[in-house]
Structure 1
Amino acid sequence: MEYGLTSISLNDIEKIEIVKGSGSVLYGSSAIAGVIAITTKKGADGKRTKVSTKFGSHNSKTYALSTSNGDKDGYVRFTYNKYTTDGINTRTDDTTGEKDGISNSTTQIKAGNERFDVSYLESRNKTEYDNAGAPDQLGDRKFNKIAINVNNKFSDTWKAKLSIAQTKNNRNTGAGASTIGDTHKSNTISILNDIKIDNALLNIGFSHIEDKNATKNQKLTSENLFVNWQKNINNIDINAGARYINHSKFGNETVYNLGAAKYLNNGIKLTGSYATAFNAPSLPYLLDYWGGENPNLKPETSTSTEIGIEKNYDWGLSAITLFKTKTRNAIGGWPLVNQDTYLAKGVDISTNANIAGYGINFGHTYAKSRANNASTQAVKRPKNITNIEFSKQYGKFNSKAQVINKSSSLISNGEEVNGYTLLNMSTGFNINDNAKMSLSIKNATDKDYKISGGAGYRYIQPGRTFTVGLDYSF
């Protein structure tokens, strides 16, 4: 069971890569719709320490510390991050005025060298939330993870990586978090080989995953064997792969992908891909999903097709991609159920440019989404999403403005929530080589908007918020 960025200290992130489309062959069954690959920092050469503080609206506070020491023989890095906020009253039908706060803390230590590293991460998240007639609910989640990686380079053409990881988590809910949730454990062992053969790259790997509900003494296991091949043939990049999955509850399944990219004159690239995916429901979905679990859930399966064209210019890059994804037995709703089919098709348009020193990023997605062949758009799926960003360096100032527009969407009872446009702005000021100040304004126009809800209520989103921060490195 994954928890995304809530379990990763933000000051520990080196880079984030987003891969759209199914990535199940290389990344596993959970990558049925795409991959967010997060690379965390290692210890830098020499001794480095960074202290960060932020204060903002709704009594929000962030304290972060990172310190590291490293050289060619090895490194060690320690990070700590604490975020708290009083929050806002999140439901329109809550007349008590009670606010829903958040408290999140993360600690991580990592040590190693080029051939070996070990890390330990621990986080705790307390989030207040509202239920109908019960505005004083609290989710209290504890999570920890220990991971070991061993790297070995056998030759100039063959290198391998062994990874072992164990996670443990539980979440209590209800008034004062008095409803004790089940404890979940996960053990993963994986081996990845990268082999270069005749200007081609061959990835061969194996993984064993064991998920266990320690409270109910139930477990699921999965063995995966995968292979992926990449090669350029006559200026065409070929990417092909397959993954064999042996699941203890849902049997055997094979997924595969095939992609190609052709480079033409004048900086034009044509791309195309086809992929299948298989995603078995997790133990929490089957046994312990805070009242929404369903032991009769079936695995999700999907097929994805993409066709695109990219063009490089002196000032940047533009791209258009047509996509179509069809998912069978898609898991959703409350309590959780399988939908017969979920179909999404549309177009992605993007432009990244640098003109006269201004960074301009534009993206628009049009997606027609249908569940069970319905005549209306799928729940919580806006048909149009637009994102525009402008950035500029002015001396010691680095400023950015972002405009986000989302069209109207439906909620679970079929009612419509209006679309909205948000303006976010931020700037950073380099005081000197060691210190930096920052200011951000989210929802600068103080837009009143809702994104979800049910019969007789909506979930409220924050209005205009301010955050000021100071970073100091030494």
Structure 2
Amino acid sequence: MSFRFSRCSLAVSAALSVLAHGASAQETFNTPVTVSATRIDMSDQDAPYASEVHTRSDIERSGASSLFDYLAQQTSLQVTPSYGNRYAPQISMRGYGNDGFQNLVISVNGRRLNNIDMAPQLIGSISLSDIERIEITKGSGAVMFGDGATAGTIQIYTKPHNGVSLETYAGNYGNRGAIATAGLVREKFDLSATLDHSKAGGFSDKDPSGHKDQSEANTWRFAAGVKPVDNLRLDFEAGSSHIDTRYPSSLTLKEFNATPGMNKNSLYTQQKLQTDHWSLGADYQLNTQWKLSARHHDEDKSSLYPASKFASDYRYISNELALQYQNDAVVINAGFQDFDGVRSQVDNRTTKDNRALFLQGQYMLDALTLSAGVRREQVTYRYNPIAGQSIESDKRLTSWELGANHRLSPQLALFANYSDAFVTPDVDRFFTTDWMTGITSFNGFIEPAKVRTLTVGANHNTERNRLKLSAFYAKLSDEIYLEPFSFKNTNIDKSHKYGIELQDRLQISPRVTGHINYAWTRAIIDRENDGAGAFNGKELPGVSRHSIVVGLNVRVAEHGNLHLSHTWRSSTWAAGDFDNNNVQKQRAFQSTDVTYRHQLAKHFEMYAGISNLFDRSNGIWVRDDAIYPVNFERTWKLGARIQF
């Protein structure tokens, strides 16, 4: 972090502290925050695993317009556009680098967003206005979520709307949007509906077709819940999202330094994404101790690149049947899950089907919480080309987890968690493309990656402070990656990762709240035979050692709220630099963001925000002279929201 920013940050912080001095209602932090990663609702203070929870009030304070903005600017996650695509970004945690999104299971109300190929999760299809809570579990989740939960999970929970809300905003570079929500909550039923429209005019120069790196997204969602009898709850949800986005090609270092928004007389990549989904759920309380739950999710997705006519169509169907037993001290969850994924392209149809049985138990005795679980999963692949022989393979894998939490006092709790997890290769990993001929051929079924992770930590809560501290060590075999010289998908034989994570939220004064989210991470390649020893002992590229989000939230008036945050990630090796030998490294990422919200009347609020306040030029380094510009302009927006 530059000294220039440090001085600016200190000056701003000091000014805000002076501004905030005075009498006001003090925010408290000892109110329990709920976590549900094991399908057992409990306080995060008592959880036998590391968690990071973001509530609705956190989201509204941030001033973020999209889920991408919030995750990138307010959480410990490393979130970057996937070669420019902000709607399906690369998300990494705990040192898994550019393939980190495949080592995280992301779900919305239990519906998995993970794809069966190398496409990242489409988080752009989720309206931020619908989210009640974002729960990030670290080094845990392998029993309940299975395949892919090696780094952890991101669980998103939506909320029922009550009343009508209209919001609109506009900013520079053609950014504008409108959100409408409506809902009705009663004792026996609830209904909710959301319409979300956003549009961006683009930040880069026009390409030869006259288009900028512009985008448009339209999303709708409907949800309903009903209790026909006291012990039965039925839920239905449906939604759709259409996204049309363009993003630029890479630049050389000279071009990037001169003008990150330049166009090299080439067309921007255009991608059209469509997703339609619906879900059914039922919870039946058999008696005071037993509960039966069932879920069904159905999703159709498509991805089209109009210039090349390259298209992929997906169909994802998943089911869960679970039984829960609960008394004063013991909670046991057992059940069956399946996930059938199909991808259809012009010359082949590829499927990946998962079947799993799971058993998760938790024992609570006074100040001690113990947890244990096991999962057995079968993964089946089928590759059916239009011409040629069909190929099939299957794997049977086991994951398990142990956890403990001991509350030493009402304020302090210690926890430990051990997880044995796995991630199976996506269907794209079975193919390789000859860089000279451009011909793609079958590469073979490569091995699943297996990860053993130990996490220890402490939670400390008081009326003025909420502190979380954890340390982890992960030992991996067969970590999956794309070998940069032969462009062959294969496995890293042995590797390991370790680090420290710190979260703290502090009441600095009656009107000022501060927060910090810091991670120090190391990711090391121990041995990789496919690299002929060139990668041994090297750092996994794309993993920043230091990542930090710091912020202040200030009540500047009775109805005014100012939120200031700064995100910084240290420089590291470029995404494809596995031998740590490139001349150009990934530069440090920096962005300062500020939002002011003011309630003019009981149901009317206005806000203003500035992102990348100091106009930092950020980019994604893939290799030398291959840089994708991201977040390289200062942007502002003005908005208003009215509730009825």
Give TM-score scaled by structure 2 length. Answer: 0.68
Matched with 2:330 is 200
Deviation at 1:125, TM superposition (A): 1.6
Q: Match for 1:388: what amino acid?
A: V
Q: Match for 2:216: what amino acid?
A: S
Matched with 1:321 is 470
Distance 2:479 2:328 in 1: 41
Matched with 1:276 is 420
Deviation at 1:422, TM superposition (A): 2.4
Gaps of 5+ in 1: none
Q: 1:143 to 1:286 in 2, by over 3 A?
A: farther
Structure 2 counterparts to residues 374-385 of structure 1, below 5 A: 374-385=536-547
Structure 2 counterparts to residues 156-235 of structure 1, below 5 A: 156-173=288-305, 176-197=306-327, 199-215=329-345, 216-233=348-365, 235=367
Q: 1:172 to 1:288 in 2, by over 3 A?
A: farther
Q: 1:418 to 1:287 in 2, by over 3 A?
A: closer
Between stretches 57-66 and 245-254, larger displacement belongs to 245-254
**Preserved CA contact (<8 Å) 1:285 1:293:** no
Matched residues, number: 467
Between stretches 341-350 and 413-422, larger displacement belongs to 413-422
Distance 1:319 1:371 in 2: 29
Matched with 1:369 is 523
Deviation at 1:177, TM superposition (A): 4.2
Matched with 1:408 is 571
**Preserved CA contact (<8 Å) 1:140 1:177:** no
Q: 1:316 to 1:231 in 2, by over 3 A?
A: same
Matched with 1:421 is 590
1:308-332 Cα distance to aligned partner (Å, 9 max, x none): 1233344213232111123333333
1:203-248 Cα distance to aligned partner (Å, 9 max, x none): 1121122111244333232211101111123622101111111222
Matched with 2:145 is 27
Matched with 2:493 is 340
Q: 1:229 to 1:355 in 2, by over 3 A?
A: same
Matched, 1:296 2:445: yes
Matched, 1:309 2:458: yes
Matched with 1:447 is 616
Deviation at 1:264, TM superposition (A): 1.7
Matched with 1:356 is 509
Distance 1:453 1:57 in 2: 29
Matched with 1:436 is 605
**Preserved CA contact (<8 Å) 1:149 1:163:** yes
Q: 1:65 to 1:342 in 2, by over 3 A?
A: farther
Between stretches 379-388 and 68-77, larger displacement belongs to 68-77
Matched with 2:85 is none
User: Which one of the candidate residues 233, 237, 243 is aligned to 1:125?
Assistant: 243
Q: 1:313 to 1:253 in 2, by over 3 A?
A: same
Deviation at 1:397, TM superposition (A): 0.6
Q: Match for 1:113: what amino acid?
A: V
User: Which one of the candidate residues 185, 191, 206 is aligned to 1:76?
Assistant: 191
Q: 1:327 to 1:167 in 2, by over 3 A?
A: farther
Q: Match for 1:465: what amino acid?
A: T
Q: 1:118 to 1:287 in 2, by over 3 A?
A: farther
**Preserved CA contact (<8 Å) 1:276 1:302:** yes
Matched with 1:464 is 634
Q: Match for 2:243: what amino acid?
A: N
Distance 2:520 2:205 in 1: 29
**Preserved CA contact (<8 Å) 2:146 2:377:** no
**Preserved CA contact (<8 Å) 1:90 1:130:** no
Distance 2:307 2:475 in 1: 38
Deviation at 1:283, TM superposition (A): 3.5
Task: Find the residue that maps to 1:416 and give its secondary structure.
Answer: coil
**Preserved CA contact (<8 Å) 1:230 1:239:** yes
Matched with 2:126 is 8
**Preserved CA contact (<8 Å) 2:361 2:371:** yes
Matched with 1:104 is 217
Deviation at 1:23, TM superposition (A): 0.9
Question: Greater share of strand residues, 1 or 2?
Answer: 1
Task: Find the residue that maps to 2:610 and give its secondary structure.
Answer: strand
Moved runs in structure 1, 4+ residues, more than 4 A? 94-98, 284-295
Distance 2:469 2:571 in 1: 23
1:280-316 Cα distance to aligned partner (Å, 9 max, x none): 2234555799979965343222111111123334421
**Preserved CA contact (<8 Å) 2:146 2:399:** no
Gaps of 5+ in 2: 1-113, 116-120, 228-232, 251-263, 381-392, 528-535
Q: Match for 2:213: what amino acid?
A: D
1:95-151 Cα distance to aligned partner (Å, 9 max, x none): 999631121111111222141121111111222123467432211111111110011
**Preserved CA contact (<8 Å) 2:367 2:407:** yes
| CA RMSD after TM alignment | 2.7
**Preserved CA contact (<8 Å) 2:161 2:181:** no
Distance 1:52 1:26 in 2: 37
**Preserved CA contact (<8 Å) 2:249 2:628:** no
User: Which one of the candidate residues 118, 126, 147 is aligned to 2:279?
Assistant: 147
Distance 2:427 2:247 in 1: 24
Task: Find the residue that maps to 2:601 and give its secondary structure.
Answer: coil
Matched, 1:63 2:178: yes
Deviation at 1:337, TM superposition (A): 3.8
Q: 1:322 to 1:88 in 2, by over 3 A?
A: same
Task: Find the residue that maps to 1:410 and give its secondary structure.
Answer: coil
User: Which one of the candidate residues 305, 310, 330 is aligned to 2:479?
Assistant: 330
Deviation at 1:381, TM superposition (A): 0.8
